[in-house]
Amino acid sequence: MHLLHCSICGQQLGEPIYSSAPYQSLTSLCRIHPDETRVFACPGCGHLQTSAITNVDAYYDAEYDILVDSEEEDQIYEIRDGKTTYRTEHQVKVLLKKLGFQRHVDLLDYGCAKSSTIRALCSTTLSVTPHVFDVSARYVPFWEKFIAPDKWAVNSTKEEWNSRFDVVTSFFSMEHIPTVTESTREIAKLLKPGGIFYFVIPNVFGNSADFIVVDHCNHFTPSSLGHLLWDAGLNLREIDAHAHRGAFVVVAERPLDGKISNSRAARAEIERTCDELSAMADFWRDAAAKVRAREARLTDDDRIAVYGAGFYGAFIFANLTHPERIACYLDQNPFLQGKESNGRPILPPSELPSDVKTVFVGLNPVHAKAIISDVATLSKQELDYFYL
């Protein structure tokens, strides 16, 4: 096996701190991938890195089809007091709060997929001229609804785009890029002096599921982000861990005067980060055992429901000895209801079959109990809940 090096600082990585069972990897699209997930912590910069999946370019060009069923399809960000907020809506709100767009800007959405956030942004302000870039042409039908053909690119950015943009955005794409250092350097070249790189990425400390997502080869930490941006010649302005739940919102700038501030972390911070990552590896090893232990208490006739048709629900499915016990998945997202996950129907909580008395909760453990307590139709029933 060839030696693996950190994609941020280049240091040689040692043994993985976590490995999944063979052929039981899970992708960010909640699908089982026939590979082993191997996760490494870099002692040089505190980066958390997963071995890239085989034929990664083909995977994103042909298999990674996130939210392509319709223009409107979206993910739920939160449900509070019965009101649903979708991720696109929240991302636009945070972007406007951070950057304001008080003057007209040329903007590039990098690794954009449908670019639903920038399309929604353009519907709220006329001060943005949008451009988009992605490695797959499958999203062109979405782009052509709001962007002229000369303002998009596939596979590689255009030479004439160098030093053109006031803002480059990226929403949940940097974690997918094996050559993230080279991509960040390219983004820096695309910015005008004084231009802003604004990106949103998973925060593995706020959403531990990111730790085991096999197609997220990068799991950024504050220390590795500081090194990444310094290497690209960008000055770090902010890492916000609170504006978007389970994510970092990062703002960096290409300096007008070319002077780069050193945003690399001290050794003590990197060591603390690596200790936290090791504890997280322990959690995921224990979580799989907990699923099987709770399953062992069921009788042969018991059927269960899995609350959450997302990543945590897929993790529960993958670790059940007898997944055929699952009667259904429950989810409040109307875009998922009526579909199937692993051959089981996805239902609204109000349609939980009457003979199902045990619910395995496939949600972020940090928020799971609060979310379940807010589901009125379930609180009226006597149910046995299992939490990761």
DSSP string, 133-165: EES-GGGHHHHTTTS-GGGEEESS--GGGTT-E
pTM above 0.85, yes or no: no
CATH 3.40.50.150 domain span(s) along the chain:
76-268
Which amino acid belongs to residue 159? Answer: E
Strands 165-171 and 235-240: unpaired
CATH 3.40.50.720 domain span(s) along the chain:
297-387
Distance CA 352, CA 219 (A): 35
Q: Which CATH architecture has domain 76-268?
A: 3-Layer(aba) Sandwich (3.40)
Distance CA 116, CA 112 (A): 8
Write out the chain's pLDDT in tens, 388 residues.
Answer: 556 899 999 999 999 999 987 777 888 888 888 888 999 999 999 999 999 877 655 565 555 554 444 445 567 777 777 788 888 999 999 999 999 888 899 999 999 999 999 999 999 887 999 999 999 898 999 999 999 999 999 999 999 999 999 999 999 999 999 999 999 999 999 999 999 999 999 999 998 889 999 999 999 999 999 999 999 999 999 999 999 999 999 999 999 998 999 999 999 999 999 999 999 999 998 998 999 999 999 999 999 999 999 889 999 998 999 999 999 999 998 989 999 998 999 999 999 999 999 999 999 888 899 999 999 889 888 899 999 9
Domain 297-387's class? Answer: alpha beta
